Structure 1
Amino acid sequence: MRRILTAALALSFVAGPASAEIRYLAYDASDRITQALTRGVTLEANRGLFGAISVRRIISTSNRGSAEVRRGGPEAVRRALPEGAAESAIYTISPEGDGRGLTRALCPGADEAWLVSGRVRLARPLTLQAVGRWADGTYRHCVTLSYTWRGEWASLPAPAAGDDAPVGR
């Protein structure tokens, strides 16, 4: 039994990265605040061998922009969350590309921003907490974004007609 378990673990370490697949998970804004800021998002994510999902990029549903995110961030981000927030996975928003614009939209005036999510699961709602760090070094909660599940794609979906409309419309 021990040999079987050892072989299975070794296989998972070798097969894990090779079997990870990129998926696109789409969500619609479920409240007015979220709709005003993002309308909806598609997450480019890795789905590992055992089904764990790790976010790589956040894409505007209207395909107006995307921002790279990477797992991790300072513990001060969690301490800035509102009381009762259950989310704990910190994602750093990359300042390159559209990341700076996303930071400004979610946390106006912040120098940096992070998204904090709970466990990303298929066919389940998603809540993201945005936290920013200001020039004086303080971390503040910016906004709670609430989404409902829309669907999963093997590749990035083409924008629908009318998706060029301004956000908040």
Structure 2
Amino acid sequence: MHRFLIALAAFTAIAGPAAAEIRYLAYDASDRVTQALTRGITLEANRGLFGAVSVRRIISTTARGSADIRRGGPDQVRRVLPEGSREVSVYTIKPEGDGRGLSRALCPGAEETWLVLGRVRLARPLTVHAVGRWSDGTFRHCVALSYNWRGEWAMPPSGGASEDPAAPVGR
């Protein structure tokens, strides 16, 4: 059994990066608040060897813009989520490029902003929480965004309002 676990770990270490694939998962806003802030998003995500999804970038589906995000953040981010929230994956919004604008739109006045996502799964709705840290060190929940599954893009969206709505391919 011990040898099997070592062999599995070695296989995972070697095959993990090679087996990861980039996916583009599209979502439409499902409520007024979400629609006012983002309308729709596409997640550029890595799907690992065992099916786990890790988000790399968030792309505006209906307007030009994208922000790089990376997994991880302080534990205080989860502590300020609304009671009953099941989302646990914390992502830091990188302040470069459109990340700064996204952070300001989601948490006006915050020094830093994080996204907290639930498990990303195909053909399932998605909830994304934005949490900010203010200059006094206080963490606050800014907004909960609700999305309905739209489909999977074969390539990343170009980011214009003239996109073909039939472009996502369902899987």
TM-score of the aligned structures, taking structure 1 as reference length: 0.90
Offset, 1:155? 1.5
2:93 and 2:160 mapped to 1: Cα distance? 26
Q: Secondary structure at the match of 2:45?
A: strand
Which residue of 2 is the match for residue 52 of structure 1? 52
CA RMSD of superposed structures (Å):
1.6
Q: Secondary structure at the match of 1:123?
A: coil
Structure 2 residue 24 is the aligned partner of structure 1 residue 24: yes
Offset, 1:5? 4.8
* Contact 1:110 1:133 (8 Å CA) reproduced: yes
Amino acid aligned to 2:45: A
Deviation above 2 Å: which 4+ runs of structure 1? Answer: 1-9, 157-163
Which residue of 2 is the match for residue 115 of structure 1? 115
* Contact 2:40 2:60 (8 Å CA) reproduced: yes
Amino acid aligned to 2:9: L
Offset, 1:86? 0.7
1:29 and 1:93 mapped to 2: Cα distance? 20
Offset, 1:4? 4.6
Offset, 1:162? 4.0
Which residue of 1 is the match for residue 70 of structure 2? 70
Amino acid aligned to 2:87: E
1:12 and 1:110 mapped to 2: Cα distance? 39
Amino acid aligned to 2:91: Y
- Percent identity between matched residues is 74
TM-score of the aligned structures, taking structure 2 as reference length: 0.89
* Contact 2:87 2:116 (8 Å CA) reproduced: yes
Identify if the C-alpha distance between structure 1 residues 98 and 160 changes in structure 2 by more than 3 Å, giving closer, same or farther. closer
How many residue pairs are counted as aligned between the two chains?
163
1:94 and 1:157 mapped to 2: Cα distance? 20
Offset, 1:34? 0.2
